[in-house]
Chain A
Amino acid sequence: MERVLTYAEAILEATEQEMTRDPSVIVVGIGVDDFKGTWGTTRDLHLKFGRERVFDTPLAEDGMTGVAIGAALAGMRPIHVHIRMDFLLLAMNQLINIAAKSRYMYGGQVSVPLVVRSVIGRSWGQGAQHSQGLHSFFTHVPGLKVFAPSTPYDAKGALLASIRENDPVVFVEHRLLHSQKGHVPQEPYTVPFGKARILSSGTDITLVGISYMAVECMRAQALLATIGISAEVIDPVSLSPLDMSTILSSVRKTRRLIVVDAAWTSCGMSAEIIARTAENLAELRGVRMQRIGNEPVTCPTTKNLEDLYYPNPEKVALAAFAMIHDGDSSWRPPQLSAPELAQFKGPF
Chain B
Amino acid sequence: MHERFYRSLYRIRRVEEEIARIYPTDKIKSPVHLSIGQEAIAVGVCEALGPTDVIFGTYRSHASYLAKGGNLKKMIAELYGKATGCTKGKGGSMHLIDVSAGIIGASAVVGTTIPQAVGYAYALKVQKKTSVVVNFFGDGACDEGVFQESLNFAALKKTPIIFICENNLYAIHSHQRDRHALPDICMRARSYGIPAECIESNNVLEIHDRVSSAVTKLRNNSPGPFFFECMTYRWMEHVGPNRDYSAGYRSEGEAQPWIDNDQVERLGSMLTPPTRQSIEREVETEIRQAFEFAESSPLPSKDELYTDMYEA
Contact = CB atoms under 8 A, between A and B. Distances in A.
B123 A97 contact: no
A71 B311 contact: no
Nearest to B95: A105
Contacts of A104: 90, 308-309
B205 interface: no
B32 interface: no
A74 B309 contact: no
Interface string B97-122: 10100001101010011111111111
Interface in A65-82: 65-76
Interface string A99-123: 0001111111111000000000000
Contact of A63 (B56, B97, B104, B153): B153
Given A60-B153, A93-B109, A103-B310, A70 B122 contact: yes
Interface residues of A, number: 41
A70 B115 contact: yes
The interface centre, meaning the residue of B107, B109, B119, B307 with most chain A CB atoms within 10 A of its CB, is B119
A238 interface: no
Contacts of B176: none
Contacts of A70: 56, 115-123
Nearest to A99: B116
Nearest to A67: B119
Interface stretch (B19-27, B81-89, B194-202, B254-262): B81-89
Contacts of B119: 66-74
A44 interface: no
A246 interface: no
A65 B126 contact: no
A166 B115 contact: no
Nearest to A59: B149
Q: Identify the interface centre among B97, B104, B308: most chain A CB within 10 Å of its CB.
A: B308
Contacts of B120: 70-71, 73-74
B236 interface: no
A297 to B, nearest CB: 30
A67 B97 contact: no
Contacts of B97: 106-107, 109-110
**Most interface-central of A52, A71, A103, A167 (chain B CB within 10 A):** A71
B279 interface: no
Nearest to B156: A58
Given A52-B126, A98-B107, A106-B97, A63 B115 contact: yes
B149 A64 contact: yes
A11 to B, nearest CB: 23
A57 interface: yes
Contacts of B89: 107
Contacts of B112: 66, 93-94, 97-98
B152 interface: yes
A236 interface: no
Contacts of A97: 107, 109, 112
Given A97-B107, A97-B109, A110-B99, A67 B311 contact: no
Given A70-B56, A74-B123, A110-B105, 12 more contacts: A63-B118, A64-B115, A64-B149, A67-B118, A68-B119, A69-B116, A70-B115, A70-B116, A70-B117, A71-B120, A74-B124, A109-B99
27 contacts: A58-B149, A60-B149, A62-B149, A63-B152, A63-B153, A64-B115, A64-B153, A66-B118, A71-B120, A71-B122, A71-B123, A73-B119, A73-B120, A93-B112, A97-B112, A98-B112, A104-B308, A105-B90, A106-B87, A106-B95, A106-B105, A109-B86, A109-B87, A110-B97, A143-B309, A145-B310, A165-B311
